[in-house]
Chains A and B, each alone.
Chain A
């Protein structure tokens, strides 16, 4: 609709000059002249996008080089795929990071993903609108805290001198070391993700639920549907599209798990329990100076992520959902 309008405008203006229909080239030039101010307005934003989103992609060449910071990217020798050998040959540290990443991703989809849905269904069926608003504003709050704050608060609650252990000690129940325990690391960071984002996650489901036609509830009730059947046949189908969309986004992000969150707590439990692909790249490359290998791992991770989004979207189309982008 908008396109049609502006196209007519384009032809109207371009055609206003010579009587004959203008050539495509002349029309392009006329459009350029007409839109030059628009292009000028776009320039700063486009420049930032090109400089900080596209230009760094070129830096990935060091994945194929033996990069030495003092020689520079251009003069460092090419080494082909040598840097990728940690991936093909299964370097133990890399495998550890990969395994941790996949396990954490899977655990988070299984345990974190359903919680906002359940919360949204509960909020949606509250009788008092005011109570709903109040609960929402409390539960959304942690989303706006930084990871540093969230980790600090968890330390305060669960750390050795924290509220929980203080309570145990005063009741002579002994200590329970949670934060420094490698076996509890994944449950801990999962709990943190739930605490921070489960409330906020309800917002998109609540939006979908609010669009359900209330007449559907009446009609189904007249047909004798119980509350459970209404939930199953009316409420849940209304959020199916959103669920599929979010699962796709999640799948595309399967190799990216809480970077800031993990880096803040890695020292407490050690690399074995906590290293994920992003922290592997950071510690090996920027801290350890193994630039080429880290860039190679980062590059493969990015490509796999891209493929995952593409595949997940294909799958969504097969299911008859619209997914992230249309066909």
Chain B
């Protein structure tokens, strides 16, 4: 019986249906291999170029796939305290503060909305839900940020994206799955709302808090357009804007003599790629954790529920 319910034997043995032919399997493997190569090769080239010396880059005519004489000069240059270093601090700060505040707001709101029948439950839920169906528009948003005096403030990168209705709904669905009996029992024992939240609900929801927190962190780290809109002062630019200026536009940022330590600009190829790699490091760090949760299908399950 167990043999019958697993899929592999079905493909192979049942009358009439041939197992996938070798050609078919080969074609499938080849397509997936090419797809993976299209992702891996560019990253390899970026990392290699950042490590290569100028001589090899010049000889190769631009980019290299493997550094012959790898060195960390480019990294030393950008981390020596110039524009890139400062932008790195800005991005790290905005990401940390933003993620913590965002996670707190999302969790509290989701918890407050997880009790059907509570006071004003429906109107509050609708208030959050409706934001899924419209976006305020660029111009009104800009006018709001300006009239709040948030232009050129780091808060303009954090506050507008603090609450995402989708994430609130995911977390709410998760909180609602927690058995009522557990919460009712605690209440009978005299536990207050805060006690229930901090001692029962949140500890049981570590996984969903971790996933949503990581997604928020990645979004804060990668955010680009809000900074284009609201931050004019180049000294306050996050890393993505510096990356755009140096790498995509291939120009330099002439701010008060704090250029990339002594490098002639536009920055050399390896320096450009080193900036790119630095911007990828945090993503690479959290990716394994994110992945563990894809495997569980946690997020999708929550969305569907």
Contacts and interface: CB of A to CB of B under 8 A. Distances in A.
Interface of A: 2-3, 5-7, 9-10, 28, 31-32, 34-39, 41-42, 44-46, 48-60, 62, 73, 119, 122-123, 125-127, 133, 135-142, 144-149, 151-153, 155-157, 161-163, 165-166, 169-170, 195, 199, 203-204, 207, 210, 214-215, 217-218, 221-222, 224-227, 230, 252, 259-260, 263-264, 267, 278, 281-282, 285-286, 291, 294-295, 298-299, 301-302, 305-306, 309
A144 B287 contact: yes
Contacts of A10: 117
Nearest to B300: A207
Contact of B63 (A166, A210, A222): A166
B159 A146 contact: no
> What class of interface size applies to chain B in its complex with A?
35 or more
A294 B98 CA distance: 30
Contacts of A39: 112, 119-120
Interface stretch (B67-75, B203-211, B223-231, B256-264): B223-231
Interface of B: 4-8, 10-11, 14-18, 20, 25, 28, 31-32, 35-36, 38-40, 42-43, 45-46, 49, 60-63, 65, 104-106, 108-109, 111-113, 115-120, 124, 127-128, 131, 133-144, 159-160, 162-163, 165, 168, 176, 180, 184, 192-194, 197, 218, 221-225, 228-229, 240, 243-244, 247-249, 269, 272-273, 276, 279-280, 283, 287, 290-291, 294-295, 297, 300-301, 304
Secondary structure type dominating chain B contacts: helix
Given A32-B119, A163-B63, A264 B248 contact: yes
Given A45-B168, A119-B32, A302-B134, 8 more contacts: A5-B180, A45-B128, A59-B141, A137-B287, A152-B247, A166-B61, A195-B39, A252-B133
B295 to A, nearest CB: 7
B36 A155 contact: no
Given A32-B119, A46-B127, A135-B32, A144 B218 contact: yes
